[in-house]
Amino acid sequence: MADTYSFDVVSDFDRQELVNAVDQVRREVSQRYDLKDSKTEIELEEASLTITTASDMTLDAVVDVLRQKATKRNLSLKIFDLQTPEPVGGNRVKQVVKLRKGLSQELAKKLSKLVRDNVKKVTVAIQGESLRVTGKSKDDLQQVIGLLKAEDLEVPLQFENYR
């Protein structure tokens, strides 16, 4: 039996599920009666998603479809950081949706302080874009997981590498 247990707290998403969700959105936009003639373009880049369409109304509809498809594919809606829509030439509108991945230094420090203040028997180490939580008892680690799940954050959290 191990004398210490640990796990990692990360913020990540399944890239392939996002690609599948975007493909489904493209398919629905090309087939839906109200969106068919809007000449909507959805470009998926490494860290963002760009939606270009005919008007604000169709942009809202496309973003709504994106949220529905992402939810059906078990992607958290917290990964989408919607930027303000900006007009593009030819009466078109463009919106950039940044994809949140990894814990920022500020958020990692905030989570580390939260865990240290509430659960005294564990140690927390910031490792790049993740947190390593170590403790002598599995019950303490479960208490930390419950604490972090109860916290309302702007990024989705996953718990990995249970040891």
User: Considering all CA atoms of the chain, what is the largest pairwise distance in Å, rounded to the nearest integer?
Assistant: 67
CATH 3.30.70.990 spans which residues of the chain? Answer: 15-99
What CATH number belongs to 15-99?
3.30.70.990
CATH 3.30.70.860 spans which residues of the chain? Answer: 5-12+103-160
CATH class of 5-12+103-160: alpha beta
Predicted structure pTM score? 0.84
Question: For position 83, what pLDDT does the model report?
Answer: 93
Q: What separation in angstroms does the CA of 41 have from each of 2, 20, 23, 26, 27?
A: 53, 16, 11, 8, 11
Tens of pLDDT, residue by residue over 11-48, are 899 999 999 999 999 999 999 888 888 889 999 999 99
